[in-house]
């Protein structure tokens, strides 16, 4: 279990770099069917998979803490091939931080492993993150990048 994140007077998580989320850790991001681009060329993952949400205070990119899930005995293959997800990719925490992004903990009622990546992720960084990501639960026939 990670130490609770810092919160403001309204209870909202303050963007932070969580000291227990180490650079060598990975975050796992689930992939929805709507993240698959099917029109032009081979099917691939959408660039929008690696953007921060336009919602949230402040907005961030959601992902789950891999080491904690493994420690809790979570079957990652089952988790990321059920519900809304068809598969998943992993992002290295140290890599994300090297881009100037914050990687912190933001638990949700339905997902205690939920972390958040905060910072401005626009075109250039989206591309870098997209080419950095690796499969955890691969989706057959779908390329990671163009």
47 binds other proteins (CB under 8 A): yes
According to CB under 8 A, which one of 6, 34, 42, 100 is a site residue for other proteins? 34
Give the interface size with other proteins as a residue count (CB under 8 A). Answer: 29
Which one of 8-16, 19-27, 54-62, 66-74 is the stretch in contact with other proteins (CB under 8 A)?
Answer: 54-62
Answer yes or no whether residue 122 interacts with other proteins by CB under 8 A: yes
Distances (CA, A) of 45 to 42, 95, 100, 121, 133: 10, 20, 24, 17, 11
Q: Half-sphere exposure (CA, 13 Å, Cβ side) for 83?
A: 10
- 40 scored as a contact of other proteins (CB under 8 A): yes
Pick the closer one to other proteins by CB: 47 or 92: 47
What Cα–Cα distance (Å) separates residue 88 from each residue in 40, 58, 81, 120, 130? 22, 24, 8, 22, 13
Residue 59 sits in the site that holds other proteins (CB under 8 A): yes
Sequence-ordered list of residues with C-beta below 8 angstroms from that of 74, at least 6 positions apart, any chain: 113
Please give the residue ranges that form the binding site for other proteins (CB under 8 A): 30, 32, 34-35, 37, 39-41, 46-48, 51, 53-56, 59, 62, 83-85, 108, 114, 122-124, 126-127, 146
């Amino acid at each position: 279990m990670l130490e609770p994140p810092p919160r403001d007077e309204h209870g909202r998580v303050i963007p932070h770099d969580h000291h227990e989320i180490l650079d060598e850790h990975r975050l796992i991001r689930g992939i929805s069917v709507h993240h698959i681009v099917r029109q032009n060329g081979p099917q691939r993952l959408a660039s929008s998979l690696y953007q921060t949400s336009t919602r949230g205070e402040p907005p961030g990119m959601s992902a789950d803490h891999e080491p904690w899930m493994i420690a809790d005995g979570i079957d990652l293959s089952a988790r990321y091939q059920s519900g809304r997800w068809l598969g998943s990719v992993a992002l290295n925490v140290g890599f994300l931080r090297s881009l100037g992004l914050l990687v912190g903990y933001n638990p949700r009622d339905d997902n205690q492993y939920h972390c958040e990546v905060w910072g401005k992720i626009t075109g250039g960084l989206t591309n870098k993150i997209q080419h950095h990501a690796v499969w955890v639960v691969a989706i057959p026939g779908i390329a990671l990048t163009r």
